[in-house]
Structure 1
Amino acid sequence: MLLATNRDHLIDDLNGDGLAGPGDTIAYDIQIRNLGQSSATNVLFRSALDSHTVLAPDSLSVGGSSDDAADLQAVEVVIGVIPAGGVASISYEVTVIDSLAPSIRQIANQGMILSAELPTVVTDDPDTERNGDATMTLLHMQPRIEVHKSDLLVHDADSSGAPSFGDELLYVITIANQGNLTATGVYLLDHLDMRLSIVANSLSSTHGSIASIDIGATQQIGVQIGDLDAGESATVRFRTTIVATYTENTTRLLNQALVGGDNIPLTPSDDPETDIEGDPTTTILVQEPVLIATLRDQLIVDKDRNGEPSAGDVLLYQVTIRNAGSASAHILSYEDRVAPNTTLDAKSIQTSQGRTSAYTESGNAHVRVDADSLSPGDQINISYRVTVDNDIPADVAWIENQGLVSYLEGVAILTDDPDTPARHDSTKTDITATARLDATKTDLLLVDANNDSQPSPGDTLLYQVKIANQGNGAAQHVVFADTPDEHTSLLNRTVNTSHGAVVTGDADGDTSILVEIDEIPAGHAIWISYQVVIDSDLPADVTMIRNQGRYWSEGMTPTRTNDPETLLLNDATGTNVGGQASIEVYLHDARVDAANNLVLYQVTIENNSHLPARSVIYQDALTSKTRLAANSVHASQGTKSGNDDSRVYIKVGDIPAGERVSISYLVEVTERLADDVTVIWAQGRASSESQSNIPSDDPSTMEEDDHTETVLPMPPRLYIPNVVVESPATPTPTPIPGLESCPAQGCDIAGMNQPRRIAVHEESNSVFITNWGSNQLLRVDANTNALLAVAPTGAEPWGVVVDDDPARVYVVNHGSGDVWVYDPFTLALLAQIEVGSQPTEATILPDLDTVLVSVSGEDQVAIIEGIGLYQKLGSGGREPGALAAAPNHAAAVVVNQESGNARVLYRAGNTWRSDGPTLSFGDAPEIARPTAAAFNSLNEKLYVLYTAGDSTFVDVFRFPSWGVMPITRLGALAVDGVGALAVNTASNHLVVTHQAGGEVTVVDSATDSVIDTVAVGQDPAAIAVNTRTEMVYVLLSGVNRLQKFSDAGIAG
């Protein structure tokens, strides 16, 4: 006895709605079982396909092996023998045809099985209770719009036989509903190329009415098509004149219309004459090479972290040379004499085509790239770096740079700065006159109470601090702070400063020092001194007194003083008070050559005591990822013994009191990740007659005796901007009237489809929205609610953040595991950065040019600097999601939803670390599930939204004034439900959305009390604030709408 089942599966869902429809592909899996006691022979399977489907090519498979099928409307398979208890498997795929009548609501499929011994049986749908029924697949009723736009030369003014200046083109736009449901409220927008002029009274449409036509500067038309039934088409026609004004981009015209409606996504027109779907209609005008060259500057290393190019910073120049013509350019060369007051990094020159070189002529550095040819439509991408000189004069307000492109067929052209409206202008980089402070701190035995000529209990030390401004601008509002070592006491009325005022330190009972200086001019320095007494009851095990002050100025991150008597940077000033020799070991990565996988380590062993250190030995057992480079170990004294490629061993010998020994060695990184950052660790150890097993310390971190961590970034990739010069993102204001304010249910935004997150670009007063449902990024005018531009994204876009300067938009793509970076003004794609499995949220530290991305599928956080992946590190929990940046601390908080905790990540030296504090929430942290976070930089408060059982709370934490430890939990706020958080620093308010209640709660962050509740509409899932205008923007994800309100006038 034979029994056969036929199960259907939707495997190719074009619109991602989870339901079968026109154009979708369905798979059928047939299982034929022999339930009898003997074999079935001459078994044959037949199936006539539903008339509304066709067999997908190469999809027929028998027993796991592919089979050929010539007939697209039927399947026939000769199975042969099925033994008793055996099973035969057949599978094939069908595609639902595009043109379905509205009456077609389902498709059917059923096969017949014939054999020599047994009666014919039919397949059964195993997902129904009936036996022997056909497998039925329900079809989704939906419109599906296709838009084609073609061009035709209708008036050849110069009889050249090809489009040229003065000719007339006829554009024909066909809008067809290929779905099985009426498309309602259909409209068309067309923003024409600037070199076209609409011919008066030439616009016509077979359906609807002309909504708008602008023959001024914008050259825009709009047509209200109305409703289009299934299978119905509308045609729009208009003529244009090619304006006889020459520009470099006139080699071709690009034109594209956009069609939207009530129940259809925003759809761009397609040029039917090309194989590319959804591409603009192209009209070729000339037959010669036309080169367009741009030179863009970008700040990539901001040494003083002031957000502006200044002395010591590194600039990246990105050159794009594009052939916008229709013929190749030959013997092409690019040359740039880099600007004065900068230094070229000759090794940084890269090109996507041709040969690079660098040379010096008359004291000026030159960049040169030579290429044999450049084909039409192709481009050469060149990049190189320069460093702004540290001693740049204070009166230099900008750096000016411009390249020259020459080629065989035409006149040489100058590069253009694409960020200005002027043509062929040089690229100017404004240089900010900035202060660069450096502070040293020395100690001196001032009063020797027991006359033993060495610091000891009861003695008085004099500390002298020098703060020097080595920059090219004045340092404003300079502050110095210091708290002496716990084993010393500050002598009041001994604090002196050469400039400014002593705020604390001189009054009786003061235990710390605070000095304020109004200004330190460029090239000047100030001196501060004070005295401390070493405790008379000093514990016997204390052999070293350490002291280190902090200093900062307006716009500067607090920095620690440096002991000039050591080789280390920013180290504490140590005073030996013990009765035996005491050595300290420091190991830092002095040079990282990522291109050649090399790291140079420098070790300093210091004897800061008053006694000689005897029989000192230093050794370092290298990790498995590294090996010692041959003949690379060098020491200022001692002998090398027993070194191989995995070990450094040096018998240093005796180190006199107050002296130091220097050691260096080069290691090769043997395990390097090709598509990710590589992190290696090193830690040496020293010993002497009086000390043993002394670990080396990384002087770039605040942690003591920690290993030295070195980050090797991904192998460098050439920055290739994905910018179509002739066709920037087309502005697309919607013809449906947009309100300045939004109604109670929110504003309808054209093209919004399952929006996920929202971010504000304050410079242009626009908002960016990620469309999960259509894999798009929307740019919306924040005032008029008009849709300005649309750009494709990766799969399942989630988080979005905006950096106002440099202007970038970062979109996190959950499905494709990457981050796409855009220009916020044109939506040109600048970079695609792979970050890992299932990334979700992002936050930004603008001063560090750093974006952090939670990678939930790997329990990690990806660190992006500029437009490249810099590092990945653990999130400290499971399923990381929301992130909150703490800009004053060079840190961020990542919320781990599944493990119910949060971890503080912070930058130390040239690397990020994940060993910051771990935060838990509520009185029962084991059931807390945190979902959102926000940081208020005005008062150093962190807010985390979480659920605990059926209740929702916001926990409030306080960061310290400097660093990341300790973090104090201040309390909790009860809120009405799950939602999102944002902070308005202009009003010092926290705004909290409640998705179920359709409200936003406004909290005074100074008192953490609720001061207002604003009704915003259904499902407020995301929120963002423009701190310049104090407007709050709320994404109503469930209904595809936007809401907004002003926070400026809200007060408790």
Structure 2
Amino acid sequence: LNASGADLDYASHVAYWESSGLPVPHNFSDVGGLLTFDGFPIVPAGEQIIIELTVVLADSPANSVGTQFINTAEWEFGRLIDGVFYEPLPGENGISEPLTIAAPELVMTKTGPATLGLTLNLGQWGQFGLDLQNTGLSDAWNVTLVDRLPDGPTGGMCSLTPQILTAQVFAADGVSTVAGKGPLVAGADYTLNYNGAPQCELTLTMLTAAAAIGPGERLIITYQTQLDPNTQDGVDLTNISGATEWFNGDASNPDRVRFARPVTTGTPTQADHQDAHTVTAALFGYFFEKTVANLTSGVSPATTAAPGDTLRYTLRLQATDVALTNIEFYDDLGALNPTAVFVPGSLALVPGSLPPGADASNTNPSGGTNGAGIIDVRNLSVPVGSSISLQFDITLDGNVPDGTVALNQADLISSSVMIADSDDPNVNGQADPSVAGDEDPTQIVVDATPPVLRFEKTVANVTAGVVPAATATPGDTLRYSLYVEAITDVNVVDFRIVDELDALNSPAAFVPGSMTLVTVPAGADTSNTSATGGADGTGLIDVRGLNLNGAGDSVLIEFEVTLPAVMPNGTLVLNQSQLLAGNLQPGLSDDPNVNGQSDPYVPGDEDPTQIQVQSAPYFDVDKVSAYVDGDPTVLLAGETLRYTITVKNIGTADAVDAMLRDEVPANTTYVAGSTTLNGAAVPDPSPGVLPLSNGISINAPEDTTPGAMRADASATTSNVATIVFFVIVDPSVIDGTIISNQGFVSAVAGGVADQPSDDPRTDVNDDPTRDVVGALPLIYAEKSAALQVDLGTPGVVDPGDTLRYTITIYNNGAVPATEVALIDGVPANTTYVTDTTTLNGMPVGQPDNGVSPLAAGIPVSSSDLTPPLPATGAGTLSAGESAVVQFDLLVDAAVAPGTLITNQAVVASYEVADVLTDGDGNPATGPEPTVVIVGDQQQLSITKQVAVVGGGPAVAGATLEYTVRVVNISTVPASYVVITDDLDMPVPTQLQYVAQSATMNGLQNGIMFAAPVLTADYSSVYGAL
């Protein structure tokens, strides 16, 4: 191939028998362009082997257009001659016919108007031609043509889009047609695009085989256009055209070659892909034009307007070859309209637009037909080759029917004679001054079709971080978003959004002064918006000066506002905005999250934006004790205890059925008639029976309605209910006896059931009020475990995880506890983590070599006495103080899922008996082990307490109150929780159920009794625990 005279690349070949066409087996190699074919079978006499070879011309400088090349094949063979085999024997070389490298070559010729030579009159059409001939030897496909029309300060041909007249491929003579190549159709055979100023560029791209230019053929395109209105007389205007891209094959050939050329000056003296043509403008006469712009919509020139829009008309007079003197503009704005279309008195000359020396004193804004107004401007002069203009504004009547055509045409008057009507060059093009009656009135089509808008309002809960939001808690801050989008292509100008925040709510649902604007469109007027506006003083949104410029345009307004701290549960807070625009009917906002998105074409389909309030009472219930007799710091047997309970609703909703229940503590006797509510005596239900045993309705002094407790979390005491009662400690109790008592508040309508009282004098939350008999410390210790190192399932205790135990020891008594020690063994299935034991944050017993110091016990002192660490036997808990001990345990590797790690420590002291740690943090339920479950297994803890209703001993006939607590101590929800209690266990018929007395979380829902079994189906009422 290298000897062919061209740069050729091997592509493929086939070898076959001439007679049958079957393939011939052979060997083949290509070494640097030397192709070798051998290993052929013996060729019988009269048979031939044909090899067809395909090569590709490389895209390289050697393969220039016009290069000729040949291909020579040399061959040799072997044969028997007189019984002797001779090889190799030379064969006769095969030489191909010469081939010439071909490519399309394009030459552009640009032609102009023939009848006018090189001149073109303003207002007349000129016809131009693009003649593109293929002088190459192969077809030109997908040709792109560019024609740059002139544009400059002295004139041009850029304003109008050129009109294509013909487009077709002809034979070389430019006249004869070519088979299969008829007239070309825009959009099918070619694309057309025109970019006006400043590009002023016409682009055509050929698409089909009918538009391909064969060798010698011509693509001829003719179009017409006009001079721009600002073109001056005698100006030479040159436009440049050329072919910028073509290919040597159609688009289905991925290997086709692209030819690209720039368009520069047109190179008119060279026969190449571009050319230039010059037209000289020859102007005559004068031009009296009138155009209109829509000031309301901002469109210029305008063709449509809405009722109420303000229009600006411009009158322009240009003199070309003759000066004009003492000319008058006269315009009766209502003359061409059968009914009134303009607002009488709205006509106004634009300041500064009146030509110097002009007399406008006869102009009358309310004169003429239908009072539309008259323009009468006199004493006008225009020198040769110059122009004058004036402008005036006028407003369309707001009730003009849809589709009305508002016509207007001014008169040009000379010496009291009308010599011309104004022409609108935007209607049927510019008038030809040589053709009488070629002038078109200026016209505006009234579009009174109301715009179709999407007006949506959504709400987000800023406090909760929920978008969109459906619920909120009193005190939350909400963000409302108002979105307006134009659906139809109608401008909406100078509209406003109004929103009185509490217009739909009674009572008001927002905090006065809390409203703040977050987002408003640029340039909008918010001066009428007030955070304390509206009938309720809770806020008024009033945003004005808003605009929508056609379909798809939108505006966004966002504001935030805060809900009051207290609101009834279930309150629906509604909010809906109004859109006000001129003569349009007020529009209402729609929340697409309520009943779906509204149909903008269906009036009344809009839903207000709503938030449902979720609130509930929540009580701060404090209970303290005081020693009435003797030493106020030491309680002795036989002395009187005074209990004071204060209840304050600090929740987000008022309570209407608040009730307090309490029992006489064990080892005491109620003092008959001692119960008071807010200082007023509460009668005993029967002699010597505490009224609180069956529960009493409570209220604060501010509202004596039984059960009424107003929510207010401030420091005020006006919503606090105070209950007092007295008990006497049994004379026979021994020192060290703990008198424990706790009240419970319920407000079932508000979802509150048995909220326990808290002793505010201790650090333990919701703990009973506990007093010790005698001058002794009162020790309580709670023990908890938490994941310290979580190597497995997040939040689940797995083998290999590390637990951190925290033991807090309290002395809630009035005297110190001495010789205090803490003993705690390492539970099964765990390993103590070396050197992790601390007391009040200080290391204990380190280094401990992996042996827990707690196993043998450590002295413990309260935090006010450490450092230093106490010596052995010297541990002391000051009155009212506490100590904290921490240590880590590693869950052993082989522990099976569901295994319980159970642990309970012992607190020893000199003064009182050993105290076990409590795992649930509730002193009322007694000390319980701390239990940790391994794996994501369900595990419940259940405790049961009993008290004698009304106090006293549990004797035959006494009423007992049982309290069962079930706690999920695992890390996963517990499903299908059902609690059963067989009253015959362990002794049949010992207990008799008091009908309707059982409740679950304060309600009787889910409670069933089928003697002797009481059942509470938790999951059927509340779901998983």
Query: Same fold judged by TM-score > 0.5?
Result: no
Counting strand residues as a fraction of each chain, which structure ranks higher?
A: 1
What TM-score results when the alignment is normalised by the length of structure 2?
0.30
Give the number of the structure whose alpha-carbon radius of gyration is greater. 2
